[in-house]
Amino acid sequence: MPQRPAVSSRADRLPDLAGRNSRSANRKRTAWHPNAPGFTPTFSAERHIGTALRETYRAFARALSQNLAPLGLTLSMWFALRSLWEADGQSQAELGRRIELNPAAVVAVLKALEVAGLVERKRTRKDRRIYNVFLTATGRKLRTKATALALQVDARALRGVTHEEIDQALAILQRLRGNLANQSKTA
C-alpha cells in the first residue's frame, strides 16, 4: 500500500500568491487561468481562487469577531453598524440589502443592537409597515473604538505587504467582482 503524504495545515495548502513558497513558485502559473494554453479542467482546492478568497475571508472574520467581542458585537452587528455609520436612518429593508442579510436575519441583528442600546427603529409616517433604523448616541460614539479594533485586524493581516501589493490586490479583487457581476451579460 502506498504511503500517504503528511497532512499539512490548511494555510500550507493555500496558494502562495507572493511566490515565497518554493513548491508554488515551481508550479505553472497557468494552472489557475482557464484561458491559458494547455489548461486542463480539473479542480484543485489549493489552486482555486474562490477557495483562497473564502479561507482568507474566514480568517479575517475570526480575527474581527475576536477583536469585537469585548464590545459585545457580533460580525453581523458590526456590518449593520458600519452601514448605519455611513448612512444613518435607512430603512430596515435597505440595510438588509446593503449588508446582504435576509429580512429575518436583519430583524434579529437589529433586536440585538436595540437591546444593546445602539440603535432604535422608528416607523415611517408615510407607510407604517416600514421601519427606519437610527443610531443612538451610544451607537454613534462606538464608531471610533470599533473601527480601531477592525483596523487592527487589517494591520495584522497586512504585515510585510507593500502599498503597491495592496493596491494591486484591491484592483484584482475589484476586477473579479466585476467579472462575476457581468457574468449573466456574457453568458
Could you give the 3-state DSSP secondary structure of residue 8?
A: coil
Left if phi > 0, otherwise alpha if psi is -120 to 50, otherwise beta: which for 54? alpha
pLDDT for position 47: 77
pLDDT of residue 186: 57
What pLDDT does residue 45 have? 75
CATH of domain 72-156: 1.10.10.10
Cell 479575517 found at: 60
Q: What's the pLDDT at 22?
A: 43
Element (H, E) at 131: strand 131-135
What's the confidence (pLDDT) of residue 174? 96
Instruction: Give every CB contact of residue 124 below 8 A, 6+ residues apart in sequence.
Output: 91, 130, 131, 132
Residue 122's nearest CA partner among 135, 111, 133, 137 is: 133
- pLDDT tens digits in sequence order for the chain, 187 residues long: 444 444 444 444 444 444 444 444 444 444 456 777 776 667 777 778 999 999 999 999 999 999 999 999 999 999 999 999 999 999 999 999 999 999 999 999 999 999 999 999 998 888 888 899 999 999 999 999 999 999 999 999 999 999 999 999 999 999 999 999 987 665 5
